[in-house]
Amino acid sequence: MSDRIKTHAPINLQDHLQRLEEKGLLQRIERDINKDSELHPLVRWQFQGGIPAEDRKAFLFNSVTDSKGARYEMPVVVGALAANPEIYAAGLGVKVEDIGDVWVRAMERPIAPESVSDAPCQEIVMTGLELTKPGGGLASLPVPISTPGFDASPYLTATLVVTKDPESGVRNMGTYRGQLKARDRLGVRMASRLGGAGGYQHWLKYKERGEKMPVAIVIGCAPAILFTGPQKLRIDDDEMAVAGGLIGAPVRTTRCKTVDLEVPADSEIVIEGEISTDYLEPEGPFGESHGHVAMEDFNMSMQVTAITMRKSAVFISIVSQVTPSESSTLKKVAYEPLYFEHLKKALNIKGVKRVVMHEPLTNIRKVIFVQFDRSAPQTEIWRGLQGAASLQAQCGKIVIAVSDDIDPNNADAIFWSIAYRSNISTDVHVVPYRSGGHGPKSGRGGTDATMMIDATLKAAMPPLALPREEFMSHAKGIWEELQLPRLSPQPPWYGYELGDWSDLYTQYANRAVAGDWEQNGALTEGQQKGGMKPETPVRDIE
């Protein structure tokens, strides 16, 4: 890791957007776009339309409407964090090839934040009746529907969710989805699986104390701050200090108006509130980053106590669901160099040259390729495979070693290498008792293994997490009307059902697209239950 790398990271989201525009990485859309049915499908086309990663851009929508005819003054930006690696690098103020070194330095040399009282994120403050009046609270924000035709509500996706340990006071910042339930209520999903959310560990401690958990959801901040959320740092690391290390200067923080938490002072929007530890509420369906629609689980219910924002705030959302996506790029560009650093320096693996995490459809977590110099001893190859498979509980279900003449990004070359360079009886090893990790719950058992498997469909599964064909086709018409780059649709380019779905979820999705998501929230409010662990499938209780 080089000390010579100097970052010039943007200090807030709008600074970042200006830099992207100067680099030709921002596409402005001035025509009316319906956030409930058109916005995400339009941006999704640059991932499903055969457009090279280097040609993807951030999309800034300046005329946002919804299915009820409302018009929002606040613009919405999608793709501004990681539509491609160059955009991610711009958020750190470095070149793409320096991303890994900057992350290593930031974790080794964090910079503590500094608190300020005059915060741009609190220029406008909504509390009390302002949160519940018609069109107020969460309904005043232009929150898009990510997977029209399947999602039950608009969802907060590009989040920085701040919680703190009630005992030590150590802060955690995670990227967790938030489902709009009412003007002052959200459903929040914090992963409870092994290697999951630090915020969930805090929730367990508040639950044991019989207290509600204070929480603040930041929507829009300096990319370097938000990048810490999906990075899965150690649970006792202060991500705000690591973000300072990424930026090269202290992050300016300020105390929230209604909860005892500190948030980035230069944020666009902050949603404050409390999460109950006495009960959970059905949350979902939602198109997940594992590439299927996540069904309803019982998850956390957040009562909003305040919404604060800049006077001219920009709302930010990310493209997730089926990969490649903005969500997978966010992880891939940072995970790969960190995995390589772990193998090369922490484990001192001889001959390792590169780590590549497979992105299309598999979402980088499940399949990892490790490239070795042809002189690497077999013992080092196996140490490298084991090291890559065990670094994170959620990553490395399939790990494949290849020689340096094989391009790990070329699936055909990988299959060729497996076919002619491996002896299945001696060169394949199965390690049992692996966590099932991130994936749909349909047809799943308990623990998994690290190995190669038959990947054909074995049971009814949730729908493919892309907008239904009607919405993608409609968005394609808009894309062509705007004379954006020519599309070459790559299947699958729209969502379709795979057997595990219900009429109820179709009703949820239809209401969401029609702008009637509050009806869904009213229905699930009546199903609130206590005495359960988050992510308990609703149908297991029914």
For tokens 């100067």, the residue is 22
What one-character-per-residue DSSP string does 374-402 give? Answer: TT--HHHHHHHHHHHHHSSTTS-SEEEEE
Top-level class of domain 328-450: alpha beta
Closest CA to 500 of 284, 301, 196: 284
Whether omega for the bond prior to residue 264 falls within 30 degrees of 0, making it cis, is no
Tokens of 436: 């099932």
Pairing mode, if any, of strands 213-219 and 185-188?
Answer: unpaired
pLDDT digits (tens, 9 = 90+) for 318-366: 998 888 888 888 888 888 988 998 999 899 999 999 999 998 888 888 8
Tokens of 53: 């990663």
Is residue 306 within 8 Å of residue 483, measured between CB atoms? no
Cα angle 192, 198, 202; round to 5: 90
The residues spanned by each domain of the chain are 13-322, 328-450
Q: What is the overall mean pLDDT for the chain?
A: 90
Q: Tell me the mean pLDDT per 10 residues along the chain, length 542.
A: 64 96 97 98 93 94 98 97 95 92 89 95 98 97 97 97 94 93 97 76 96 98 90 74 93 98 98 97 91 93 98 96 86 88 92 91 88 87 89 87 85 82 82 74 70 42 88 96 89 82 95 96 94 90 80
Is residue 518 within 8 Å of residue 137, measured between CB atoms? no
pLDDT digits (tens, 9 = 90+) for 138-191: 999 999 999 999 999 999 999 999 999 999 998 999 899 999 999 999 999 998
Q: What does the pLDDT read at residue 462? A: 85
The amino acid sitting at 17 is L
Cα angle 48, 416, 377; round to 5: 115
Q: Alpha-carbon distance 377 to 370, whole Å?
A: 14
Pairing mode, if any, of strands 213-219 and 159-164?
Answer: antiparallel
Cβ neighbors of 276 (< 8 A, separation 6 or more) are 212, 300, 301, 303
Q: Alpha-carbon distance 520 to 509, whole Å?
A: 9
The CATH number that domain 13-322 falls under is: 2.30.110.10
Is residue 429 within 8 Å of residue 390, measured between CB atoms? no
SS (H, E, C) 1-18: CCCCCCCCCCCCHHHHHH
Q: What is the pTM of this model?
A: 0.83
